[in-house]
Amino acid sequence: MELKLAFIGFGNVARAFARMLCAHRSRLAEEYDLTWKVTALATGKHGCVLSQSALDVEEAVAVVERNESLTELSTVRAAHDSIEIIQACDADVLFETTPLDPDSGEPAAAYIRSALSRGINVVTANKGPIAFAHRELKTLAGTNGVAFRFEGTVMDGAPVFNLAEYCLPATRVLGFYGLLNSTTNIILTGMESGQSFDESLAEATRLGIAEANPDYDIDGWDAAVKTVALANVLMNANARPSDVKRAGIRAVSSEHLKSAAQGGNAVRLVARAETAGDGLRLTVSPETVPLASPLGCARGASNVLVIKTDLMGEIAIFETDPGVEQTAYALLSDLIRIHEDLMTERRHKI
Amino acid sequence: MELKLAFIGFGNVARAFARMLCAHRSRLAEEYDLTWKVTALATGKHGCVLSQSALDVEEAVAVVERNESLTELSTVRAAHDSIEIIQACDADVLFETTPLDPDSGEPAAAYIRSALSRGINVVTANKGPIAFAHRELKTLAGTNGVAFRFEGTVMDGAPVFNLAEYCLPATRVLGFYGLLNSTTNIILTGMESGQSFDESLAEATRLGIAEANPDYDIDGWDAAVKTVALANVLMNANARPSDVKRAGIRAVSSEHLKSAAQGGNAVRLVARAETAGDGLRLTVSPETVPLASPLGCARGASNVLVIKTDLMGEIAIFETDPGVEQTAYALLSDLIRIHEDLMTERRHKI
């Protein structure tokens, strides 16, 4: 089955995904009977283009990385903006990876809403829409008979949502805790090793891991938005980022870290969801944890999520030192899942 | 859809599973449209029985725990042995949980072979057949159009096989390492805390975690069989337990552990699969690892598996302090998966 793909946003993650698609074209065709072509690309700074046939994706990646305009590609026509692209692209699957507005989840949620309403399957790596509008978007996808997938929004490609959806049937998630923000973990473990806050932050920026505005990481907003996304999906909550009791890592000094280390401990920015009475208590704050624990042993960009369930006890998933490739993989795994489901439908229709 | 269930083996794990089925009967019916009845039970010491209608499962659990014979139950007729049960039970799903023979995987593999050949879906918690005959049994299941599932064979209910099957599409598993045996980990971490080897082993026995013959744990056989099961399934190997370079924990003394701890390290019985040239190198041996690492921080019965992949980098799954309930959950999750697949088939046939 050949799928027509559209990209809204063509930054680091989307381009890494595009390169992965090209590099593994034959693996996808041979193992999944999945072939694809890209028919639309919308970017903030490099133009928006549509193609009747197929865009040259490798050339598109190169054009953007040379900081040129996509309209120079052959076989394309220019479009005005992302909304025009979504309305005109006639894609099977749309990949939404625009920059995040942590205060509203917009315009990403609007793009997703528009695509789902037009009967287009959507994959996003954007946690905002999950934190602000998961329930609405899931319902909209159901009404339109399409998929809405978002594995890459939390812990990159480590399968947290898919684990819960496919591997923990009949369980109730009673709560969770974990390290969800790589930048703050790079800073805290860098400071443990004797670097300054600024040196460690510079390293996270150099690795392409820190947000464009690192305050968003440092003050715990990124972790809070992810905590809400997890609570909304795994625990069927209807929370918003403002529901999270949040403290960042600005008050954590080298002295704190040294004194913790002397006691066999570490300081980590821990996200937690706990049932409290009838409600749910969501927190993000620096905690002192044993070095020899799943949280304490996670260094650098590594993330970890511990899930407490009723029938399966406690399990954790641990992602070692992720980079942009891992987020790109999340988009790939979502694409394969959508394709598999379409194939099952088609096979049974014939 | 009502499924007829048969049990070959009705020990701790199978009885915990039976209790879980009864306790969550309405959850399964409401959320999965899954209803069930047990029509056959085969045990080593408490008789083998069949029922035309349905056995009273709660009563069967009680009878076995009172050390009485199942033939005293109402609405049953006695059968001679497991093979007769498999031939006569007419079940939809058969749960194979007989004691393990680590040298051959028999008679469990024979039971599974017989059931699959008769078109019965099989779930096993028995790692022997996966280590000795995974490829053959998988092919046999395919030929007969039925499922063969075994999530409970390694790391209890922690989804290691399902994670690879459903959550890591298109990846290649390049290798793995982990702690797969709870008894040796209870002993090693008990000795770290100042207990003797024998005291720690007694605790593992008391918890019902040590094998009937604990040599099998202590000498690394259990971990070796699990390593082979993982390699056969995750890496499509065709290995046997004798292919594992194996050393147990008998040579690890309290002095070793003390000296490791002074350096911030721990000794753990580590299972590894690594590609080496054209082949695969499988090892189980005590290793000195940092306390602040996924392996070092796993204490007591906890297990951990780190999987290295090509597209998704390295991820780990961590199971905190599992007991028999977690293995029972593996059987439940396999049952739900089989039921879901049968429902998909049926829905599309109508």
**Residue range B234-251: mean pLDDT, rounded:** 96
Q: What is the pLDDT of residues B189-200, one digit of tens each?
A: 999 999 999 999
Of residues A32, A292, A336, nearest to B297 (C-beta):
A292
**Residue range A330-338: mean pLDDT, rounded:** 98
Distance from the B88 Cα atom to the nearest Cα atom in chain A, whole angstroms: 31
Q: What is the pLDDT of residues B57-69, one digit of tens each?
A: 999 999 999 999 9
With CB atoms and an 8 Å threshold, state whether A318 touches B316. yes
Q: How confident is the model at residue B339 (pLDDT cuts 50, 70, 90)?
A: very high
With CB atoms and an 8 Å threshold, state whether A167 touches B163. yes
Of residues A170, A293, A317, nearest to B24 (C-beta):
A170
In this predicted structure, the answer to whether residue B349 has a pLDDT above a threshold of 80 is no
**Residue range A136-159: mean pLDDT, rounded:** 97
Of residues B317, B318, B336, nearest to A170 (C-beta):
B336
Highest mean pLDDT of the ranges A103-107, B17-21, B49-53 = B17-21
In this predicted structure, the answer to whether residue B211 has a pLDDT above a threshold of 80 is no
* Chain B neighbors of A318, CB-CB under 8 A: 294, 306, 315-318
How much of chain A, in percent, has pLDDT values that exceed 70? 99
* pLDDT at residue A1, as a whole number: 83
Of residues B311, B333, B348, nearest to A20 (C-beta):
B311
* Chain B neighbors of A25, CB-CB under 8 A: none
* Chain A neighbors of B154, CB-CB under 8 A: none
Whether complex ipTM tops 0.90: yes
* pLDDT at residue A100, as a whole number: 76
The residue to which tokens 């690795």 are assigned? A207
Q: What is the pLDDT of residues A11-57, one digit of tens each?
A: 999 999 999 999 999 999 999 999 999 999 999 999 999 998 999 99
Q: What is the pLDDT of residues A74-123, one digit of tens each?
A: 888 999 899 999 999 999 999 999 987 777 888 999 999 999 999 999 99
A226 catalytic? Reply is: yes
**Residue range A197-221: mean pLDDT, rounded:** 91
Q: How confident is the model at residue A184 (pLDDT cuts 50, 70, 90)?
A: very high
* pLDDT at residue B243, as a whole number: 96
How much of chain B, in percent, has pLDDT values that exceed 70? 99
* pLDDT at residue B23, as a whole number: 98
In this predicted structure, the answer to whether residue B158 has a pLDDT above a threshold of 90 is yes
- What one-letter code names the amino acid at B148? F
* pLDDT at residue B93, as a whole number: 98
Higher pLDDT: B106 or A136? It is A136
Distance from the A56 Cα atom to the nearest Cα atom in chain B, whole angstroms: 23
Q: Using alpha carbons, list the distances in angstroms from residue B24 to A327, B59, B281.
A: 37, 17, 43
Closest residue in B to A20 (Cα) is B311
With CB atoms and an 8 Å threshold, state whether A27 touches B170. yes
Q: How confident is the model at residue B39 (pLDDT cuts 50, 70, 90)?
A: very high
Per 3-state DSSP, what percentage of chain B is helix, strand, and coil (rounded to 5)?
45, 20, 35
pTM flag (> 0.80): yes
Distance from the A88 Cα atom to the nearest Cα atom in chain B, whole angstroms: 31
SS3 A36: strand
What contacts A288, CB < 8 A, 6 or more positions away? A260, A265, A266, A267
Dihedral angle sign, alpha carbons of residues A209, A13, A98, A142 = negative
Distance from the A103 Cα atom to the nearest Cα atom in chain B, whole angstroms: 30
Distance (Å, rounded) from C-alpha B30 to C-alpha B324?
26
Distance (Å, rounded) from C-alpha B113 to C-alpha B141?
9
In this predicted structure, the answer to whether residue B350 has a pLDDT above a threshold of 70 is no
DSSP conformation class of B195 = -
Least confident interval from A268-272, A305-309, B62-66, B275-279: B275-279
* pLDDT at residue B75, as a whole number: 84
Distance from the A157 Cα atom to the nearest Cα atom in chain B, whole angstroms: 7
Q: How confident is the model at residue B301 (pLDDT cuts 50, 70, 90)?
A: very high
With CB atoms and an 8 Å threshold, state whether A312 touches B320. no
With CB atoms and an 8 Å threshold, state whether A322 touches B313. yes
In this predicted structure, the answer to whether residue B138 has a pLDDT above a threshold of 90 is yes
With CB atoms and an 8 Å threshold, state whether A318 touches B315. yes
* pLDDT at residue A4, as a whole number: 97
**Residue range A135-156: mean pLDDT, rounded:** 97
Q: How many other C-beta atoms can be found within 10 angstroms of the C-beta atom of residue A119?
A: 11
With CB atoms and an 8 Å threshold, state whether B170 touches A333. yes
Q: How confident is the model at residue A350 (pLDDT cuts 50, 70, 90)?
A: low
For chains A and B, count residue pairs whose Cβ atoms are closer than 8 Å: 148
What contacts B119, CB < 8 A, 6 or more positions away? B144, B145, B146
With CB atoms and an 8 Å threshold, state whether A24 touches B322. no
- What one-letter code names the amino acid at A298? A
Closest residue in B to A340 (Cα) is B169
DSSP conformation class of B100 = P
